[in-house]
Copies of this chain bind each other. A is one copy, B any other.
Amino acid sequence: MSQIDLDPNSDVPLYKQLAESVRTLVDRGAIERGERLPATRELAGLLGLNRTTVSAAYAMLEQSGLLEGHVGRGSFIAKSDRPLALTSLAARSIDWEHLLPPLESLSVPARKISISFASSCPAGEAFPLAEFRRLSKEVIDSPEAAQILQLGSPHGYPPLRRYLLENALAAGMVLPGDDLIVTNGCQQALDLIARLFFNGNGRGVVIEDPVYRGVVRVFARAGATVLSVPLDESGIDLNALQELIHQHRPRLLVVTPSFQNPTGATLPLERRKRLVDLAQRHGLVLVENDICSELRYEGKSLPTLKQLDESGSTILLRSYSKISFPGLRVGWAIAPRPVIARMAEAKQTSDLHSDQLSQAVLLRFAESGELARHLDLTRRVGAERLSSILRCCARYLPAGSRFTRPEGGMSLWVDLPAPFTAETLLSRVEQRGVDFLPGNFFSVQRSHPRALRLSFGGLSPDQISRGMQILGEAAASEPAAALEPVAASV
């Protein structure tokens, strides 16, 4: 077994590497058919592996028919390969592909990407790791640790919930009779709301088009009729919305007033007021996705719909994910108590409650002032990145391109002139290590073949500049290929 050479840094688990190595050695004849393999403990010692890893590899080989275990005697390479289909697959009585709904095929980039305009997450190196470490340890050493480890409430970890409520109240985001629930990020809040208001009843929800896929999916899954309104740089088109309201009497509107994903569009104050008024007059529930409004790099901050809405028709969704650590899943919703009570009931049935360790750590992060300090830094860094990408858009995009000019957030939206399409441009730049998400990835009912989203939040000005230059060169070199018609992919 001395020829076995495993790579602990590989993505392939060690047990699989080991099993494959054994199979290769058998195929090459380096291990003979019928030969006895060392005991798991012995081989683990020889290779410097955990015994569990060796056991797992042996189990895998046994299941595949290459290895045979004999109680008290050890494990032997089978004299001949067992016909696998007969022993383990013939007994399979369930045709899963037939039984289950079809799987949406997700396009996975095959190429190595070094500058990605596709990810709308902060860059890992910008995390305030030292502060996270210090404050997490404070939480872990605190007397509350035992409480954190015990079963919690579907409404959230009580000290965090209290803190969030007090802050929202002080900011004028809480009406009398409002309440708050902690969720696993904003996505779970949308899921709970979708279940509450639709649950297969076919009523309508209005969403923005384009919008990020999680919104479309969560309402489609809940059985809502998904309607959509177009956006311009100042957010959703209120005349189109009014038309939809008259025609379909939808129950809910999901809207991102600040730095919308993917367009970066922001509703000005007047449109916010008109929207709140419209919702109020028609009994339309507003779901305000407000996870990015604190990432404003320039211009004046605007009140949330929740602050403008005195009628209590707005459900406000916020989250720590985009402004601190995306891997810790903590968001929250503020809404009238009857809504929150039912969201809590739905949450209990979904997963009992959100993880308490992360809730406690993020509470400490916010209370200590470190979150505010981190936000300041993020805004300074974000401002540089924003001005860099705006500069590069003007310089490198083909003549006739249009792009949004957000004052914050993570992304902007580009419309290429005909005959360019985002898909052909993407296939070109991928070859040079650059990617982005084409507009049709965000389509609801309209097709956006010439559009693309450029996310700049996780890239340095230098990366932005190099990436945009490659994008510009690819566009300049490929007008002919781009002429081919491309069908909308969503």
Contacts and interface: CB of A to CB of B under 8 A. Distances in A.
A355 B352 contact: no
A358 to B, nearest CB: 5
A147 B124 contact: yes
Contacts of A56: 165-167, 169-170
B351 A188 contact: yes
A93 B218 contact: no
B104 A129 contact: no
Contact of A145 (B101, B129, B172, B218): B129
Nearest 10 pairs of A and B residues by beta carbon: A55-B170, A96-B338, A184-B351, A149-B325, A355-B355, A188-B351, A91-B311, A56-B166, A327-B356, A56-B169
A163 to B, nearest CB: 8
B169 A59 contact: yes
Interface of A: 11, 13-15, 52-53, 55-56, 59-60, 63-64, 84, 87-89, 91-94, 96-97, 99-101, 103-104, 119, 121, 124-125, 127, 129, 132-133, 136-137, 140-141, 145-152, 158, 162, 165-167, 169-170, 172, 174-176, 183-185, 187-188, 191, 195-197, 199-200, 214, 217-218, 221, 223, 251, 280-281, 283, 285, 310-313, 325-329, 336, 338-339, 341-342, 345-346, 348-358, 361
B141 A338 contact: no
Contacts of A281: 93
Given A184-B351, A353-B329, A121 B150 contact: yes
Contact of A137 (B97, B100, B140, B355): B140
A100 B195 contact: no
A176 B312 contact: no
Contacts of A63: 174-176
Contact of A149 (B14, B94, B124, B150): B124
